[in-house]
């Protein structure tokens, strides 16, 4: 096997397509990766049926079970983005003609509704105005009115509006009504606390490219025993996302039915080891909390307003209202010219917001530079108006 690349220039050619300039990322995902992650991923491949791969798979799953406090629950890895598990939750754990209470506080709650309906199930919707969370008493009321739903879906962190739902309290209400709880934690897992067993969650899923700061292509799911029991009774679960098949492969050989994204799993394993070195889960979550506070303070110091309702601010993304007359996309474009990739507004609030992602590899220096530039950009745009 060649040790040195022969056609070295092709790497630069590809870089010129993807990275015409090196941008600093404050994105909603994919996010900037840790240097350790990038190095871990540049190794030679091996078979996903090898002894070595199985050891990596086992170690990663066990570290995730610790991180999610899922000792009764089972964590599994999927060769897809997080939305794959969104679909799996409906196909495996809701009867074909069954009803689901879908809570919507933004674009990703809407996606869950589409996934429910496109899989032939019925969605009962509890929708809040953009910027607001779902409150426990509202969920309680909706469940009283709809006692026949089988499950409740909750977006833990709504990436389009920058709102963190009160998941623990919402799950408690759902359990009082004896409903299964499916959580889209795609932009929350790794930054907002999840106590899978204690909060009695049934399905929680995320993607590698958000708060864990790993490239895209890997989905992480945690499942309660009840989900597998239910799945046994559901026909036509499909093959690619059949949870019973995944469990069989994991239990028999610490692997997946089809080929997993091995580099991403190795990278996630590296991040879980970084978390351990940093002092464990709660130290790591605190790092995210402090980063989020610093970014919110930066926004306020510029005289701008946060979009989310106070008390429900996201630890992973800050949605900012633009000053009157300025469009979110103008701020985005001007920041790009200065070497920063922030996130455009998304979904219903697209026009008059922009978003600053806090996930992945971001240093204090990066944050300072971001705000120095953002201040100038806002001032320039205001002058033009
Ligand atoms: C990014 C995101 C998704 C979509 O994740 P994919 O990895 O693209 O499938 C779903 N929900 C939320 C809350 C997200 O932030």
Does the pLDDT at position 34 exceed 60?
yes
- pLDDT tens digits for 108-145? 999 999 999 999 999 999 999 999 999 999 999 999 99
**Confidence band, pLDDT 50/70/90 cuts, at residue 338:** very high
- Residue 87 CA to residue 114 CA, distance in Å, equals 10
- Which of 138-147, 205-214, 339-348 is the least confident region? 339-348
From the number of C-beta atoms within 10 Å of its C-beta (0-12, 13-18, 19+), residue 10 rates as exposed
Q: Are 347 and 106 in contact (CB under 8 A)?
A: yes
Stretch 25-47: mean pLDDT: 96
| Best mutation site among 105, 184, 205 for ligand 1 pocket (most ligand atoms within 8 Å of CB) | 184
Residue 242: the pLDDT is 98
Q: Name all domains of the chain by residue range, CATH numbers in brackets.
A: 8-34+282-384 (3.90.1150.10), 37-276 (3.40.640.10)
- Give 183's strand partners: 154, 204
Pairing of strands 305-306, 317-321: antiparallel
Residue 324: the pLDDT is 92
- Residue 192 CA to residue 314 CA, distance in Å, equals 8
Find, among 372, 338, 383, 374, the residue nearest to 355 by Cα.
374
Percent of the chain with pLDDT over 90: 96
- Residue 258 CA to residue 256 CA, distance in Å, equals 6
Q: How far is the CA of 8 from the centre of ligand 1 (A)?
A: 35
Backbone phi and psi for residue 373, each to the nearest 5 degrees, phi listed first: -75, -40
Is the CB of residue 156 below 6 angstroms from any atom belonging to ligand 1? no
Is the CB of residue 83 below 6 angstroms from any atom belonging to ligand 1? yes
Please name the residue ranges forming H helices in 164-255.
Answer: 167-176, 225-231, 243-253
**Confidence band, pLDDT 50/70/90 cuts, at residue 2:** low
Bond preceding residue 30 cis, omega within 30 of 0: yes
Query: Higher model confidence: residue 347 or residue 148?
Result: 148
Supply 2's token pair.
Answer: 């060649």
Does the pLDDT at position 19 exceed 90?
no
Is the CB of residue 26 below 6 angstroms from any atom belonging to ligand 1? no
Stretch 177-189: mean pLDDT: 98
Complete DSSP assignment for 329-353: HHHHHHHHHTTEE-EE--GGG-TTE
Q: How far is the CA of 91 from the centre of ligand 1 (A)?
A: 18
- Residue 159 CA to residue 315 CA, distance in Å, equals 10
- Please tell me what DSSP assigns to residue 189: B
**Confidence band, pLDDT 50/70/90 cuts, at residue 1:** low
Q: Are 282 and 67 in contact (CB under 8 A)?
A: no
Is the CB of residue 207 below 6 angstroms from any atom belonging to ligand 1? yes
Mean pLDDT (the chain, rounded): 96
Residue 46: the pLDDT is 95
Give rounded-to-5 percent helix, strand, coil for the chain: 45, 15, 40
Q: How far is the CA of 379 from the centre of ligand 1 (A)?
A: 33
Does the pLDDT at position 150 exceed 90?
yes
Contacts of 111 (CB under 8 A, 6+ apart): 83, 86
- pLDDT tens digits for 78-107? 999 999 999 999 999 999 999 999 999 999
Q: Does the global pTM surpass 0.75? A: yes
Supply 62's token pair.
Answer: 């066990």
**Confidence band, pLDDT 50/70/90 cuts, at residue 360:** very high
| Best mutation site among 31, 78, 82 for ligand 1 pocket (most ligand atoms within 8 Å of CB) | 82
- Residue 228 CA to residue 231 CA, distance in Å, equals 5
């Amino acid at each position: 096997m060649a040790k040195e690349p022969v056609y070295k220039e092709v790497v630069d050619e590809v870089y010129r397509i993807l990275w015409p300039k090196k941008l600093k990322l404050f994105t909603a995902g994919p996010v900037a990766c840790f240097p350790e992650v990038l190095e871990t991923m540049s190794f030679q491949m091996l078979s996903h049926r090898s002894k070595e791969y199985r050891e990596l798979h086992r170690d990663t799953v066990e570290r995730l079970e610790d991180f999610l406090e899922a000792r009764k629950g089972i964590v599994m890895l999927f060769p897809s983005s997080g939305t794959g598990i969104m679909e799996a939750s409906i196909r495996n754990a809701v009867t074909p003609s069954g009803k689901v209470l879908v809570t919507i506080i933004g674009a990703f709650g809407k996606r869950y509704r589409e996934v429910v309906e496109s899989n032939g199930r019925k969605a009962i919707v509890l929708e809040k105005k953009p910027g607001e969370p779902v409150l426990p008493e509202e969920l309680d009321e909706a469940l009283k009115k709809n006692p026949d739903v089988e499950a409740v879906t909750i977006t833990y962190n709504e990436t389009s509006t920058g709102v963190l739902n009160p998941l623990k309290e919402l799950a408690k209400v759902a359990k009082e009504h004896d409903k299964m709880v499916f959580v889209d934690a795609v932009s929350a897992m790794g930054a907002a606390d999840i106590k899978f067993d204690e909060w009695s969650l049934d399905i929680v899923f995320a993607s590698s490219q958000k708060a864990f700061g790993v490239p895209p292509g890997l989905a992480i799911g945690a499942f309660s025993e009840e989900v597998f029991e239910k799945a046994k009774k559901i026909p036509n679960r499909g093959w690619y996302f059949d949870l019973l098949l995944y469990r069989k492969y994991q239990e028999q050989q610490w692997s997946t039915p089809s080929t997993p994204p091995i580099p991403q799993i190795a990278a996630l394993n590296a991040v879980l080891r970084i978390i351990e070195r940093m002092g464990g889960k709660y130290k790591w979550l605190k790092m995210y909390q402090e980063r989020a506070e610093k970014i919110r303070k930066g926004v306020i110091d510029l005289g701008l307003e946060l979009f989310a309702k106070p008390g429900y601010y996201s630890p992973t993304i800050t949605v900012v209202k633009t000053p009157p007359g300025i469009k979110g996309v103008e701020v985005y474009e001007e920041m790009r010219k200065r070497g920063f990739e922030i996130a455009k507004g998304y979904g219903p609030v697209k026009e008059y917001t922009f978003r600053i992602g806090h996930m992945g590899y971001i240093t204090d220096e990066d944050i300072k530079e971001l705000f120095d530039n953002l201040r100038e950009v806002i001032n320039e745009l205001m002058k033009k108006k």
